Amino acid sequence: MGAQVQVLVKKNSYHDSVTLMALSGKVTALSQVQEAVVAMATDMNKELLQSVGMLTAEAASCGANDLVIAIKAASLEACTEGIKAAEEMLVKRKTGKKTDAPRPATIRSAVKETPAANIAIISVPGEHAAREAREALQNGLHVLLFSDNVSIEDEKMLKELAHSHGLLMMGPDCGTAIINHVGLCFANKVRHGNIGIVGASGTGLQEITVLIDRFGSGVSQVIGTGGRDLSEQIGGIMMLDALDALGQDELTEVIVLVSKPPAKSVAEKILDRAKEIEKPVVVCFINGDTAQIEAAGAYAAHSLEDAAWQAVQLAKKEQPLTANQDDATPILAAATKAKLQAGQKYVRGLYCGGTLCDEAQNIVKRSVGTVYSNIAKQEVYRLPDPQESREHTFIDLGDDTFTVGRPHPMIEPSLRLARLVQEAKDPEVAVILLDIVLGYGAHSDPAGVILPAILEARKLAAAEGRYLKMIAYVCGTGSDKQNKVEQEHKLATAGVTLAESNAAAARLAAAIVS
Amino acid sequence: MGNVKELFQQKLTALTIGTSIFQEDLEQQGVEVIQLDWQPAAGGNMALLKALDKLAMNERVQEANARAVEIMLSANPILVDIDAASKVIPGMTRYTILHSGPPITWERMCGPMQGAVIGALLYEGLAGNEEEAVALAGSGKITFAPCHEYGAVGPMAGIISASMPVHVVQNQTHGNFSYCTVNEGLGKVLRYGAFNEEVLTRLKWIAEELAPAMKAALALSGGIDLRSLIAQALHMGDECHNRNKAGSSLFVRLIAPYFLKADIPRDVAVRVLEFIQSNDHYFLNLSMPACKAAMDAAHGIPYSSIVTTMARNGVDFGIRVSGCPSDRWFTGPAQMIEGLLFPGFTASDANPDIGDSAITETMGIGGFAMGGAPAIVQFVGGTVEEAIAYSLQMYEITTGENPNYSIPNLDFRGAPTGIDICKVVQSGRLPIINTGMAHKKAGIGQVGAGLVSPPRECFNSALLALYECIEAEEVSGSNG
């Protein structure tokens, strides 16, 4: 029964963590292998090795540029096989590129070789990110900094540096932008148009652009700022610069700003600047106060959907009306209510998109009062154990608790399968809400990945005589590589109810349980 | 926001640093993507990063480096003479033994080096047999010192003793001299630690017959321009470290007429020329001091982070940096060479990296110029494509390109020259050295050839030391 452990160390052999995570998974999947860790020997990974009893003295003495291949298996032969397989997979990637010229190792040498380079997309581990971003700015590149875990002091330093050079500093923790109609990182393929957007939230930007596309307009530029841009410390440096840039951009006629509610002084600064721009500005501070926005003469939107709707009307030179809440909701809700058992009272939202999760839970909260979440700001509403739901619960599966050592669920949606089945077993659950995020950067078939879990959830509920309502919103367009129509079709044939927007999905859920 | 306005009108060209998952989607949208071969700068070490931040963008450092490289490129090494070490190398005494690599004590020396020391003591008549030689070597009476600290270089064990003849190279641009022994050929030779009768007899012959003849020929020639020979050899498939076929041939072609013109007995001239032409590596002992003459001239420039020495003694790998004192070696363990073994040998027979021959890489040839030496590739176990890739990668860690030493396969691009420790630490890329493998037991000889890199810690500790030098300078500067 005793498991054997074998560890191979490769000094000075750096590999990207996402690659290694995928590789660890593939090696673990080999028969006989019980556990496989293929990782750089960072302090965090060494802790991980320690916790699974695979930290040898040799591995412990390694540093962040050293690769560790650790295999736990029933026999030593199986360990050796596992290590061999891991090595082969690492090499395979390399030989595929063998005929290519060697790639530059530093930003400076890359810019020297390719003077046309104008933007750097940086996704290195947080502790190294600020340094690389600074080097990119110093070499005249605009930056999209995807990495998180960058200190607020570094963020400020970077944004001030970018500001003084007249460069974009999107991020840290920025996952979405569309520059010159090119989707960077996570972005959807949407129509070209005259609406320019600045946003501090990734899936918030995706949702607005997707809905603008659906309502028949398009975007000029979409600039991400990173989630902390509108904090007191940063003071909205990037949003102010982006606002100016869109103000001067001839192809932009309407501007949309989207963010979680900012610090009050920062909101003032932003709104003052918006006032100076002679273009209509729609502002969506998600779940924030609208009075301040209206007082500043901007158009206040109460949801992402509303922001898109107002922007589209303005883009067509119409006087904007706030989006109507869809009439079908009460009818659909009533039809569902009739099928539920008395004990089925709660909504469980399982989200890949952080802002989508945020928006949906706020909508449900307005109807039902209390909602628990792993990302709630207030301690009382935060789940003590994110693995266990209680009453109405909304889970952001992209949060760090779920993604340590694993890719984001938008890249690898299988993270959500077990949780979906777990929720279906709970007899108090009436509705399960899901988002399916499409576009560049996202998994090639997220609906297909979750389908087996949906079918199992239905079976489990049916076996216990319960009706379980599953509502999904597919955030994407028909032009996305995953094709929204096909993704929706897969869900619909599994009995999932589809919503027109993230807000609409949440409204339907709220109507069913209130 | 002028740059943003410009950006909105440009086609995007993106560098991606970190995960490669976005690359494909960007390319599908028609964006040119350059995915960096990135690793954390300085391995994420905070002390190193601090030093790097101070030095990498420092104007004085950049100016000093430009100067160091300019000196390297303008150096003009001429082979002017051959004579006994004690006569030409300043400071050389009867009891001095020079060796390759950084300083090392007798006790710590590897097998081949100890063997070569024994051979040298027997050759000098300081010991009558092996036991006496070992006792003398360990007695403290012998001054062991790196060749590099005496203006000299030696391949493998690199042993130079007082009466051994050395080639004398003068850097006519900067006036300094460098020295290197005569290459003895392959097999049982002193530089691999052999010290039997055959070895000692050959050394004596070199001193008594080859050296005087060569001295006469060189005197007539007025000096041999080694820079020109290296430049030509590079165009003929040598990289002048592991492959010296072309260089040796060119040298024979140049020197042979002077053997006929000089008043040398015919049978002597025949023996000497036959000895030279039968050794493909004769020219190694000329390309090495040629590089050494240039590197010594570039040493001692305050603030410069250019590497002026890379050398190994079979136990430690050491480097020296222009802006640090010349007795300051930065060392780490000599690495095992990866490559091909001759039939009959296994990896466990090989000694760790040894010899001063990495002076060629320090100057930008050897492994750095491998892209232009396709014939060497099979010998060290690789493909031509890989060789070109190695050369291209070396531009990442160097400051200049040497127009004198151009690489045909890279469209005659100048060899990557002037290793900058800042660039090494930042990029994580280590210099690539193309070298021979010695047997770990004295006297067996070469067991294979391959590629090796210095240990990273040499560059890390050098960076910290240079940082301290500069900090100290600035403090005293601001006080004065």
- The complex's ipTM works out to 0.83
B34 touching chain A per CB within 8 A: yes
Contact present, B81 and B224 (Cβ < 8 Å): no
In degrees and rounded to multiples of 5, residue B303 shows phi and psi of 80, -15
Domains of chain A: 4-96 (3.30.70), 103-172 (3.40.50.720), 174-324 (3.40.50.261), 328-513 (3.40.50.261)
Is the pLDDT confidence value at A310 over 90?
Answer: yes
Contact A114 B41 (CB under 8 A): no
Q: Of A101, A105, A248, which has the smallest distance from its Cβ to B38's Cβ?
A: A105
Give the pLDDT of residue A37. Answer: 86
The model's confidence at residue B340, banded by pLDDT at 50, 70 and 90, is confident
The model's confidence at residue A447, banded by pLDDT at 50, 70 and 90, is very high
Shortest Cα–Cα distance, A149 to chain B (Å): 15
B346 touching chain A per CB within 8 A: no
**Same CATH topology for B46-71+299-479 and B73-289?**
no
How do the domains of chain B map onto residue ranges?
2-38, 46-71+299-479, 73-289
Shortest Cα–Cα distance, A106 to chain B (Å): 6
Shortest Cα–Cα distance, A95 to chain B (Å): 11
Is the pLDDT confidence value at B325 over 60?
Answer: yes
- How far lies A337's CA from each of A320, A327, A406, A507, in Å? 35, 17, 38, 14
**Which three-class secondary structure state does DSSP give residue A435?**
strand
Interface of A with B in 425-464 (CB under 8 A): 440-441
* pLDDT tens figures, B167-214: 999 999 999 999 999 999 988 899 999 999 999 999 999 999 999 999
* pLDDT tens figures, A237-251: 999 999 999 999 999
Share of chain A above pLDDT 90, in %: 66
Q: Which residues of A touch B427 (CB under 8 A)?
A: 105-106, 109
Contact present, A15 and A22 (Cβ < 8 Å): no
H/E stretch holding B220 reads helix B211-221
* Beta-bridge partners for B435: B450
Q: Quick one: closest CA in A to B3, which residue? A: A166
The model's confidence at residue B375, banded by pLDDT at 50, 70 and 90, is confident
Q: How far apart are CA A159 and CA A280, in angstroms?
A: 26
Shortest Cα–Cα distance, B43 to chain A (Å): 6
Between 2.40.10.220, 3.90.1700.10, 1.10.10.10, 3.40.50.1370, what CATH number should domain B46-71+299-479 receive?
3.90.1700.10
Percent helix, strand and coil across chain A, each rounded to 5? 45, 20, 40
Give the pLDDT of residue A26. Answer: 80
Q: Quick one: closest CA in A to B395, which residue? A: A109
Contact present, A121 and A182 (Cβ < 8 Å): no
Contact B25 A183 (CB under 8 A): yes
Give the pLDDT of residue A98. Answer: 44
Residues 6+ apart with CB under 8 A from A118: A141, A142, B7, B10, B12, B13, B14
Cis peptide bond prior to A104, omega within 30° of 0: no
A369 touching chain B per CB within 8 A: no
A263 touching chain B per CB within 8 A: no
- pLDDT mean across residues, chain A: 90
Q: Quick one: closest CA in B to A106, which residue? A: B427
Interface of A with B in 35-64 (CB under 8 A): 63-64
Contact B40 A241 (CB under 8 A): no
Residues 6+ apart with CB under 8 A from A322: A301, A302, A306, A309, A310
B27 touching chain A per CB within 8 A: no
- CA torsion through residues B461, B467, B473, B476, sign: negative
Of A178, A226, A196, A474, give the one whose Cα is nearest residue A353.
A474
Contact present, A82 and A30 (Cβ < 8 Å): yes
* pLDDT tens figures, A408-430: 899 888 889 999 999 999 999 99
Q: Which residues of A touch B36 (CB under 8 A)?
A: 103-107, 110
* Greater model confidence, B271 or A36: B271
The model's confidence at residue B478, banded by pLDDT at 50, 70 and 90, is low
* Greater model confidence, B343 or A404: B343
- How far lies B65's CA from each of A105, B54, B399, B408, B446, in Å? 21, 15, 7, 26, 37
Q: Of A109, A122, A245, which has the smallest distance from its Cβ to B17's Cβ?
A: A122
* Greater model confidence, A183 or A38: A183
Specify the range with the lowest mean pLDDT, choosing from A52-56, A122-126, A361-365, B378-382: B378-382
Average pLDDT (B312-318) is: 98
Give the pLDDT of residue A326. Answer: 63
Q: Of A105, A119, A123, which has the smallest distance from its Cβ to B19's Cβ?
A: A123
Contact present, B368 and B416 (Cβ < 8 Å): yes
Share of chain B above pLDDT 90, in %: 86
The model's confidence at residue A28, banded by pLDDT at 50, 70 and 90, is confident
* pLDDT tens figures, B98-150: 999 999 999 999 999 999 999 999 999 999 999 999 999 999 999 999 999 99
- How far lies B114's CA from each of A21, B158, B440, in Å? 49, 11, 11
* pLDDT tens figures, B268-280: 999 999 999 999 9
* Greater model confidence, A5 or A47: A5
Contact B19 A168 (CB under 8 A): no
pTM of the model: 0.82
A136 touching chain B per CB within 8 A: yes
Residues 6+ apart with CB under 8 A from A142: A118, A119, A120, A162, A167, A168, A169, A170, A179, B3, B4, B7
CATH number of the domain located at residue range(s) B73-289 in this protein:
3.90.1710.10
**Which three-class secondary structure state does DSSP give residue B67?**
helix
A140 touching chain B per CB within 8 A: yes
Give the pLDDT of residue B1. Answer: 53
Is the pLDDT confidence value at A92 over 70?
Answer: no
Specify the range with the lowest mean pLDDT, choosing from A40-44, A69-73, A76-80: A40-44
H/E stretch holding A71 reads strand A67-73
